[in-house]
Amino acid sequence: MIIKRRNIDLTQGVIWKNLLLFFLPILAGSLFQQLYTTLDAVVVGQFTGKTGLAAIDSVYSFLKLPVNFFVGLSTGATILISQYFGKRNASGLSKAVHTAIAFAFSGGLLLSIAGIALAPCFLDLLDVPEDIFAMTLSYVRIYFVGLAPAMLYNIAAGILRAMGDSKTPFYYLVIASTINFLLDLLFVGLFGWGVAGAALSTVIGQAISAVLVIRTIVKTNLACKVYPRQIRFHPPVLKVIFSIGMPVGLQSALYPIANMMIQANINALGTSHIAAWALCGKLDFLIWLLVDSLAAAISTFVAQNYGAKQYDRILKGVKIGTGMTLLPVIALSAVLFFWAQPLGKLFINAADHDVLPLAGQLMRMLSPLYFLYVFGEVLSSAIRGTGETFKPMLLTLIGTCACRILWILLIVPKNQTIQTIICSYPVSWFLTSAGFIVYYVLFSKRKLRSA
SS3 (DSSP) at 124: helix
- Residue 128 phi, psi dihedral angles, 5° rounding: -65, 130
The pLDDT of residue 412 is: 92
* Burial of 70: CB neighbours in 10 Å, binned 0-12, 13-18, 19+: buried
**Count of helix runs (H) and strand runs (E) in the chain:** 18, 0
CA dist., res. 63 & res. 24, Å (int):
26
Q: Nearest-5° angle of CA 239, CA 241, CA 247?
A: 105
Give the C-alpha distances (Å, rounded to integers) separating 437 from 392, 428, 446: 11, 14, 14
CA dist., res. 389 & res. 439, Å (int):
13
**Which residues touch 80 (CB under 8 Å, ≥6 apart)?**
96, 237, 240, 241, 244, 387
CA dist., res. 97 & res. 100, Å (int):
5
- Residue 448 phi, psi dihedral angles, 5° rounding: -105, -45
Count of other CB atoms within 10 angstroms of residue 439: 17
The pLDDT of residue 344 is: 81
The pLDDT of residue 1 is: 38
Closest CA to 152 of 172, 180, 171, 179: 172
Give the C-alpha distances (Å, rounded to integers) separating 401 from 36, 252, 408: 26, 10, 11
The pLDDT of residue 3 is: 41
CA dist., res. 426 & res. 53, Å (int):
25
Please state the domain extents for the chain: 15-448
Count of other CB atoms within 10 angstroms of residue 228: 9
CA dist., res. 313 & res. 403, Å (int):
34
Count of other CB atoms within 10 angstroms of residue 255: 21
Closest CA to 26 of 183, 218, 169, 201: 169
Q: What does 290-353 look like in DSSP terms, one character per residue?
A: HHHHHHHHHHHHHHHHHHTT-HHHHHHHHHHHHHHHHHHHHHHHHHHHHHHHHHHGGGS-GGGG
Count of other CB atoms within 10 angstroms of residue 105: 18
pTM of the model: 0.74
CA dist., res. 396 & res. 435, Å (int):
9
pLDDT string in tens for the chain (451-residue length): 334 445 677 888 899 998 988 888 888 877 766 665 666 667 777 777 767 767 777 777 677 777 778 777 778 888 888 888 878 888 888 888 999 899 888 888 888 898 889 888 888 887 788 888 888 888 889 989 888 898 898 889 888 888 888 888 888 888 888 888 889 889 988 888 888 888 898 899 889 999 999 999 998 887 788 898 888 988 888 888 888 888 888 877 777 778 878 888 888 888 888 888 888 887 888 898 899 889 988 998 998 898 888 889 999 999 999 999 999 999 999 999 998 888 887 776 655 667 888 888 999 999 999 999 999 999 999 998 888 888 898 998 899 889 999 999 999 999 989 999 999 999 999 999 999 999 999 988 887 764 4
Give the C-alpha distances (Å, rounded to integers) separating 70 from 110, 235, 245: 11, 18, 9
Answer for the pair 418, 273: CB distance below 8 angstroms, yes or no.
yes
CA 381 to chain centre: 13
